[in-house]
Amino acid sequence: MPTARIEFEAYWDGESWRARARRHSIYTFADTLDELLKNVKEAAQLYAEGEEGFEGQVEIVLRVQDHVPEVAAGSG
């Protein structure tokens, strides 16, 4: 069975942990890093199951950033 690989970037925004997939429309957040990992696994699995032709496992890569990404003024 093929494996779907989904890469996430995670960061602390000062209030909660946030994670977003690099090449997919997946985003989640949590109060703790352990909870974030659980949410990332669940979100990635659900996303992959919704993709046509998916039959295998989901490989998750989670990169935790050591800084908060800057947001351009006026966005968000």
| Residue range of the domain that includes 30 | 4-64
52 within a domain of the structure (yes/no)? yes
DSSP per residue, 13-63: -SSSEEEEESSSS-EEEESSHHHHHHHHHHHHHHHHHHSTT--S-EEEEEE
pLDDT at 7 over 60: yes
18 within a domain of the structure (yes/no)? yes
Total of domains in the chain:
1
Secondary structure (3-state) at 68: coil
14 within a domain of the structure (yes/no)? yes
12 within a domain of the structure (yes/no)? yes
Tokens 């908060």, residue?
68
Q: What is the pLDDT of residues 37-59, one digit of tens each?
A: 999 999 998 998 887 767 778 89
Q: Give the distance from CA 61 to its chain's centroid.
A: 9
Distance CA 72, CA 76 (A): 9
pLDDT at 9 over 60: yes
CATH for 37 = 3.30.2390.10
